[in-house]
Structure 1
């Protein structure tokens, strides 16, 4: 992926479209392969495995008789099992089933026991979650994880914000308050202009004085956000908001919340000082009590210090991967719950255009960022597919749960009507998120 960032002359085809196709292709393939392989383990024959929809670009047939195809519209995929009347496995092809031999009927999806059908359908989202776990675990094994101890691993330079700390320093207390872990250290030293630190350095305990460890410097800029549109870039230092000086990132956050828009930010960049104007955007933000709509400008902090890193063992790396995957799922669920409860609006829901933009930016940032993007999208796609909407995997699982309780499946007429409604809802959702993408450009 780093090579893509080095060929800007080839334009958006390489920097946006190709990374997007790679992300979507991997996530879709793993999802559909989950359906395919678990179905095969259950003795169900897959007639077609398709990446993409529409016109077939190329295909081949394997020794089991499954046709593997790549189609022109790469926004999804499907596995069509023997006995299905459509690619979504929404309803059985009853005339075809009646004409099948006994051997073929045993391999047909509609004739499989309920638990086998449910396992085959659930496997798609489960494989997406497994992909996320493996990616995040692999990143932990290769890049390491941050040590929780309040020990300095790296220091960074931000103009006008020097720090007295050095790599290897262990911070014992900030302004007389114990620093039990690295997050404690950043929180305790995030506000105010000066802090007294008790530090263990080279076996001796010393006292130091430093400014806030989270200065009002920009570490990252959200694509399409107010700061991005205003031309703010990573490395910029925001000196004031509407003329009110900001000595720390906490000051900046408070000023953005309290100032009357539009905001005028005083920016320092490579020795130059200039003003930019922007409008904060109300954004759903996770809090201890749920989701809260806050005015944000779309920047992240640039800490002056970073923790030590260590290489975890395989089991710890898997636990780290599972935790990261769950954080994506949990954040998504909380946002959806906040929308339903009226605590957040849906303007932050993104579609293919936003995913493409994010994929391009992640590719330019390097392989670790790009892999993290794949892990995040895979977990999100897995979760979306579990929503109990007919036409999605979660809708099929809901039908199977009803079948298990009733002792028989829903009638064809009711199942077809519910599936039609589900497809309409999915199409409307795609239109809505695409509108959000275009409105945010």
Structure 2
């Protein structure tokens, strides 16, 4: 048991809240620091750097005259630059600007060149993406990543026990053929098992040829990914239907299930609108439950995203590849790919909601994020850091939406300014900012309502 798990047993709700504050604090600090440091590099003076809003709890002033503060409401932060009329840099303080010298005006945010303002604004989301990439890259360097060689590096013993009457695969086996399909990479193994399940739904035994210690063996073994529940997603159809980790799925609508691929195929066939009946067994005997899948974004094999009906369970892969340590450049590439997948899937989900292909119940606010933060911290440091990376990428993406009061809204205003040769009119900017603020507040109310309904 690591320190995170030990604390979670003691803290309960307090631990979840503390985890949430750490996650949000890191993400917000990095976002605001991006604004601050790039603006400073551009010669723009920051008067206030705040983590949180409202009553000030602590502050100190650095030698450049920037007031660093920690406030009571930790749901965000801001950097107020010289000449700003508000914390969001949405308008200039015209009275202050009138009384500035030319040198002071040059150090103000409104007086800076357009490209400098745009760079400072874009740096907030940019630093969030950099944090996400950096965390995933460091995790890849620290714990390694799966090799592409078709050699079994580890096996899940719990899942293997269920196939004790079959020819067992072993760690170190090089998989050569699965049901007539030649294997070249480790990812080919699961694809070949899934294809065999598609060809003969419900099958439990698969012909596999391996090289073991210089000898080639023909085996009959269980699915690479058995129909066993590894974890249940909170607020999912599976959780509502009473699924538990360790449950083996025996049948769907009366049809036997021999591999996790059978479950996926039949859930997809339901289209997300039709209820399905499943029989589960946790070792104490079969039980029946009914549930309806929900349309959700799902990563495809080519790195893209598609909308699929999902019930909210993850599998327990029986086989895992050898672990290798990537080089620094490869680790950064891994971090960039994972960060892009988060951004792309988030966009896909929002697009599906707008298009009516998915419901919005999956959108979560502070309560859900706090709960997930606590669960991640409970799972250990790797899961907790991954949670920070995911939230950082998501916050960076959301801030790029072209909504006034968000960074993307500022960038939209700057694009209009570049095209017109002058800033958007004050009245138009105030109206757009008011609409943007109303949208953001409405979204916060909505996701908080979702959180409360999910309790």
TM-score higher than 0.5: yes
Instruction: Measure the CA separation in 1 of the matches of 2:378 and 2:292.
Output: 26
Partner of 1:223: 234
Partner of 1:285: 297
Partner of 1:98: 98
Q: CA deviation at 1:439?
A: 2.3
Instruction: Measure the CA separation in 1 of the matches of 2:319 and 2:379.
Output: 21
Partner of 1:369: 383
- Contact 1:267–1:275 at 8 Å: present in 2 too? yes
- Structure 1 residues 66, 409: CA separation in 2 closer, same or farther (over 3 Å shift)? same
Please, which runs of 5 or more residues in structure 2 have no aligned partner? 198-202
- Contact 1:402–1:409 at 8 Å: present in 2 too? yes
Instruction: Measure the CA separation in 2 of the matches of 1:402 and 1:46.
Output: 25
Question: Bigger shift: 336-345 or 87-96?
Answer: 336-345
- Contact 1:61–1:68 at 8 Å: present in 2 too? yes
Partner of 2:180: 176
Partner of 1:399: 413
Question: Which of 268, 277, 283 in structure 1 is aligned with 2:281?
Answer: 268
Q: How does 1:41-60 map to 2 (within 5 A)?
A: 41-60=41-60
Tell me the alpha carbon deviations over residues 244-293 of structure 1, each in whole angstroms, 9 at most, x when there is no partner. 43221122234445579765543333x32242535334132337696335
Instruction: Measure the CA separation in 1 of the matches of 2:418 and 2:101.
Output: 27
For the pair 1:77 / 2:85, whether they are aligned, the reply is no
Question: Which of 400, 403, 408 in structure 2 is aligned with 1:386?
Answer: 400
- Contact 1:5–1:15 at 8 Å: present in 2 too? no
Q: How does 1:170-319 map to 2 (within 5 A)?
A: 170-190=174-194, 191=197, 192-257=203-268, 265-269=278-282, 271-275=283-287, 277-286=289-298, 291-294=306-309, 296-319=310-333
Q: CA deviation at 1:160?
A: 2.1
Q: CA deviation at 1:100?
A: 1.6
Tell me the alpha carbon deviations over residues 154-186 of structure 1, each in whole angstroms, 9 at most, x when there is no partner. 111224234621111111111111122222201
Q: CA deviation at 1:11?
A: 4.1
- Contact 2:4–2:380 at 8 Å: present in 1 too? no
- Structure 1 residues 42, 31: CA separation in 2 closer, same or farther (over 3 Å shift)? same
Partner of 1:356: 370
Instruction: Measure the CA separation in 2 of the matches of 1:435 and 1:355.
Output: 13
Instruction: Measure the CA separation in 1 of the matches of 2:153 and 2:230.
Output: 18
TM-score (norm 2): 0.91
Give me the CA root mean square deviation. 2.1
Partner of 1:132: 132
Instruction: Measure the CA separation in 1 of the matches of 2:106 and 2:377.
Output: 46
Q: CA deviation at 1:8?
A: 5.0
Q: CA deviation at 1:393?
A: 0.3
Q: How many residues align?
A: 439
Q: CA deviation at 1:382?
A: 0.4
For the pair 1:416 / 2:427, whether they are aligned, the reply is no
Question: Which of 159, 162, 183 in structure 2 is aligned with 1:160?
Answer: 162
Please, which runs of 5 or more residues in structure 1 have no aligned partner? none
Instruction: Measure the CA separation in 2 of the matches of 1:275 and 1:122.
Output: 53
Instruction: Measure the CA separation in 2 of the matches of 1:315 and 1:9.
Output: 38
TM-score (norm 1): 0.94
Partner of 1:431: 445
